[in-house]
């Protein structure tokens, strides 16, 4: 089995790039549009046409001008890492452009972008078996990386990319954000001379910077939770310190709404305090394969009470009816603001009328997605009861 080679062990970083990444002639590349901003410069969509090969879309990361030698080295280290991997669930490196400016890294283009925003955009539109298929792809990519002795350290739905066939691929192999104290991204919190994404990171990695495939398995459990909740933010609006304290007290995230029990059990396995007790990625892939072969097992969801011996954080339902002053506030609270105009046009303009809504009413005003109907009706039921649970429960 091939083992990952850290490009930072090379005396000359350029040699690592030459070893692991193919140099592409800039004349083969046509940049079409800017699609985002990266840590070092713009991210663009473009076309790559190598003579004798089919033209294809690529994502292009550029290194903005005025860079230092260290920034160039850090930027290209991602290509030196990515270029060592060949797997259907790992983002594929097409090559680099280092012979001209700007310096560029070219990867395959993933039409649906980052998994977290893609799921939020398509809230409720995928079946459990489709979501498990996505999770299986991510686990397969992570199994490959762990077998190559590569530790990702930043596994999160924002770093998984999705193509037009819903294939999920692990991406973002840059290491510099962990090494830079001055990064302003609030996702990454200073810890022992580096930046750590607290909500996704295993306790031993936060406390002692002990990053292993077992700490990646913890992060994978959080990715499972993100996927099954259609891109909800892990630990909601809790502060990073509150997250650390809750985990230290053995609290864990509850199952997302309608999450199959078997999947939440697997999440809890990934969140074992003892890293040796967490499943290896090969075990995760096998467990998901069993569920895919037996779809009926995905129909069993958690009962009202938590089914584990671990205390679970409260699911934080929307505020009670008395706490919402308007239909607009209520829809915002349950993240269904997209239907505000439809509710208004249909005459559902106050909360008393909202409390009487039926499935037929929702269909009539254009709420056709089953997931959205369930979310709205479930919230109405909660609002009727006017009951606010405590913040933490056993």
Residues noted as catalytic: 154
> How many Å apart are CA 91 and CA 161, to the nearest integer?
8
DSSP for 106-122, please give it.
Answer: EEE--TT-BHHHHHHHT
Complete edge-to-edge strand list for the sheet that includes strand 93-97: 29-37, 42-48, 56-62, 104-108, 93-97
Strands (E), 188-232: 189-190, 195-196
DSSP for 224-246, please give it.
Answer: HHHHHTTSPPTTTT--HHHHHHH
How far is CA 304 from each of CA 30, 86, 257, rounded to the nearest angstrom?
Answer: 55, 44, 11
Residue 32, Cα to own-chain centre: how many angstroms? 27
Peptide bond into 203 cis (omega under 30): no
CA dihedral 217, 223, 224, 228 (to 10 degrees): 170
> How many Å apart are CA 246 and CA 203, to the nearest integer?
11
Q: What is the number of alpha carbons within 13 Å of residue 234 lying toward its C-beta?
A: 28
> How many Å apart are CA 106 and CA 45, to the nearest integer?
10
Let me know: does 26 contact 97? Beta carbons within 8 Å.
Answer: yes
Q: Which two tokens stand for residue 126?
A: 């995928």
H or E element in which residue 392 lies: strand 392-393
């Amino acid at each position: 089995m091939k083992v990952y080679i850290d490009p930072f062990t090379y005396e000359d970083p350029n040699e690592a790039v030459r070893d692991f990444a193919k140099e592409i002639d800039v004349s083969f590349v046509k940049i079409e549009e800017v699609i985002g901003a990266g840590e070092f410069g713009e991210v663009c969509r473009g076309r790559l046409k190598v003579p004798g090969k089919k033209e294809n879309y690529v994502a292009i990361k550029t290194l903005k001008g005025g860079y230092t030698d260290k920034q160039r080295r850090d930027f290209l280290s991602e290509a030196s890492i990515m270029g060592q991997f060949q797997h259907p669930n790992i983002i594929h490196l097409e090559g680099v452009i280092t012979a001209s400016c700007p310096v560029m890294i070219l990867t395959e283009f993933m039409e649906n972008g980052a998994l977290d925003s893609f799921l939020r955009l398509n809230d409720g539109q995928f079946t459990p078996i489709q979501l498990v298929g996505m999770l299986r792809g991510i686990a397969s990519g992570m199994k490959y990386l762990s077998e190559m002795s590569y530790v990702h350290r930043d596994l999160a739905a924002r770093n998984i990319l999705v193509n037009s066939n819903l294939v999920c691929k692990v991406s973002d192999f840059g290491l510099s954000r962990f090494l830079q104290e001055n990064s302003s991204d609030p996702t990454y919190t200073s810890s022992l001379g580096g930046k750590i994404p607290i909500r996704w990171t295993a306790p031993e990695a936060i406390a002692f910077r002990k990053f292993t495939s077992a700490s990646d398995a913890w992060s994978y459990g959080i990715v499972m939770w993100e996927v099954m909740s259609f891109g909800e933010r892990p630990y909601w609006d809790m502060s990073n310190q509150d997250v650390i304290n809750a985990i230290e007290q053995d609290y864990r995230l509850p199952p997302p709404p309608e999450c199959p029990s078997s999947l939440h059990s697997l999440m809890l396995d990934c969140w074992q305090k003892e890293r040796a007790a967490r499943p290896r990625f090969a075990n995760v892939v096998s467990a998901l394969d069993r569920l895919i072969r037996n779809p009926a097992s995905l129909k069993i969801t958690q009962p009202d009470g938590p089914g584990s011996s671990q205390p679970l954080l409260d699911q934080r339902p929307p505020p009670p009816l008395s706490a919402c002053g308007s239909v607009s506030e209520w829809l915002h609270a349950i993240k269904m603001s997209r239907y505000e105009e439809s509710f208004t046009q249909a005459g559902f303009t106050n909360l008393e009328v909202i409390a009487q809504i039926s499935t037929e009413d929702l269909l009539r005003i254009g709420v056709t997605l089953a997931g959205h109907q369930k979310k709205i009706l479930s919230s109405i039921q909660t609002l009727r009861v006017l009951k606010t649970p405590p913040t933490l429960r056993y």
